Amino acid sequence: MTSSIHFTKKQLIFRSDAQKLFQRINRKIKQDGARHIVIDFSGVDFFSRSFIDEFLNGLNKFKKKGVKVQLKNIKPFLQMFINRVSTTKARIQKEFFMCRRRMS
């Protein structure tokens, strides 16, 4: 079953904005049994780095639970920002694990 979530806020700034989104997703999963969530960002004009970081963390948790989250209607510059943050997070994690391995 697929469920949709639409944002009414134009600016997503805080980590708590991402956490509220995940609460909404969890409600959809519990109420509707949804395993596929579509998030519509058509009304969103701005993401902060903090929001994106928390958002990406949450997406990974849902992926591990077998829930597919699809992003829809993201403005191109916002998608580029998400990609940049995602790439940076992956690079930092890789460097952290390499450093840890050297210390062992």
Average pLDDT by consecutive 10-residue portion of the chain (104 residues)? 84 94 90 90 94 93 91 94 91 80 75
- Domains by residue range for the chain, with CATH: 2-103 (3.30.750.24)
Which helix (H) or strand (E) segment holds residue 36: the answer is: strand 36-40
| pLDDT on residue 8 | 82
| pLDDT on residue 91 | 85
Provide the angle, in degrees to the nearest 10, between the axes of the packed helices 15-32 and 49-64: 30
| pLDDT on residue 103 | 78
pTM of the model: 0.82
| pLDDT on residue 95 | 80
Cα-trace Rg, the chain = 15
> Alpha-carbon distance 23 to 70, whole Å?
16
Which helix (H) or strand (E) segment holds residue 3: the answer is: strand 2-6
